[in-house]
Each structure stands twice: as structure tokens, then as C-alpha cells.
Amino acid sequence: MGAEPSLAYVGLGANLGEREATLRNALTALGQCPGTRVLRVSPLYGSAPVDAGGPDYLNAVAEVATTLTPEALLQALQAIEQSAGRERPYRNAPRTLDLDILWFGDRVIDTPDLTVPHPRMAERAFVLRPLADLVPERVSAAALQAVALQSIDLLAGVVWAEGVADGDCS
């Protein structure tokens, strides 16, 4: 009998290349990780870079059930980023793909390689808005108000992750 799956939330972003296709491919790859299922995916958002330059981002959040440890999930996400051509020339550089563990169950992790909950998610509309679509009970109105001035647009009518998640896309 395997380990009981944990519910994790993964932030997805891309602002270089074929952004939507890259995010879809990342979701597919995430669902192919051992012991991992993509349960739900938020709508897709467009947002201006925060603390960085470059083109606008496409962003979303995926809810996953995984039997991987947080560290193993991080390694899997980094491998998916690398396969998408992710380079890290400097902090907040434009990127083909960015995958972040936002929450991993109710765990609090603070190691040199991984901090969960994600340390800057409360400062980012592009994380909080899609999270609120999936788990509104975990994102307060005050948190959303704190990032209300950041440029972010719901890309209405985009059923961008159809067929990737086990459940219906939001």
C-alpha cells in the first residue's frame, strides 16, 4: 500500500516562447510524475512582470494530489522547467516556464532549497487570483485587496487546460 496523497498547489507561469503550449505541456508532464494527478486547473491569466522586465506572463495554478515528498515534487518541477528550456541567468529573469510549489498540504517547510508556503505568493496577484478560483476559502478578501493594483487579466473563454486535469477546469 502506497503513501496517502498530499494535496499541493503549483503555480505556473511563462513569458517567453509559445506560452500557452508550454503551460499545457507542463501540466501534462506534471500529471505523468510518479504518484501525481492533476485534479483541477485555474483559468489562465495574463499579467505584467512583477519586479522584472520582459513580455507579459501567462499564469495559472494547478491543484495536484501526489504521493511524492515536497522535495521530490520540487525536483520533478525543476526537471519539467529544464525540459522546457528554462534558464536562470539572474533573479526574476524572463522565462520559458516557472513552476512553484505554493502549498503542500498544510506543511510549513523552510530549507535552503524549498520554502512552503511560497514566500512571495501573498505579494503576487498572478498567484492569488488563480488560487482564489480553486480554493476561495484559503485566499482572503484582504489578501486579494493587497494586490488589487497589480496588472492582471482573466483570459475569458480560454479553456486552455481541457483534457489535462482529472476534474473539470474552472
The values of phi and psi at residue 91, to 5°, are -60, 135
Judged by DSSP in three states, 33 sits in: coil
Contact at 8 Å (CB) between 139 and 131? Answer: yes
- Give the residue ranges of DSSP H helices in 6-151: 19-31, 70-83, 125-134, 141-146
Q: Report how far residue 38's alpha carbon sits from residue 170's, in angstroms, rounded to the nearest whole number.
A: 13
Give me the catalytic one of 100, 124, 129, 133.
Answer: 100
Give me the catalytic one of 95, 124, 129, 133.
Answer: 95
The values of phi and psi at residue 18, to 5°, are -80, 80
Give me the catalytic one of 98, 124, 129, 133.
Answer: 98
Whether 100 is a known active-site residue: answer yes
Whether 86 is a known active-site residue: answer yes
Whether 107 is a known active-site residue: answer no
Which residues fall within 8 angstroms of residue 76, CB to CB, at 6 or more apart? 30, 33, 36, 68
Give me the catalytic one of 24, 86, 124, 129.
Answer: 86
Contact at 8 Å (CB) between 23 and 86? Answer: no
143-146 contacts at long range (C-beta below 8 A, 24 or more positions apart)? 146/122
Whether 95 is a known active-site residue: answer yes
Which residues are known catalytic residues?
86, 95, 98, 100
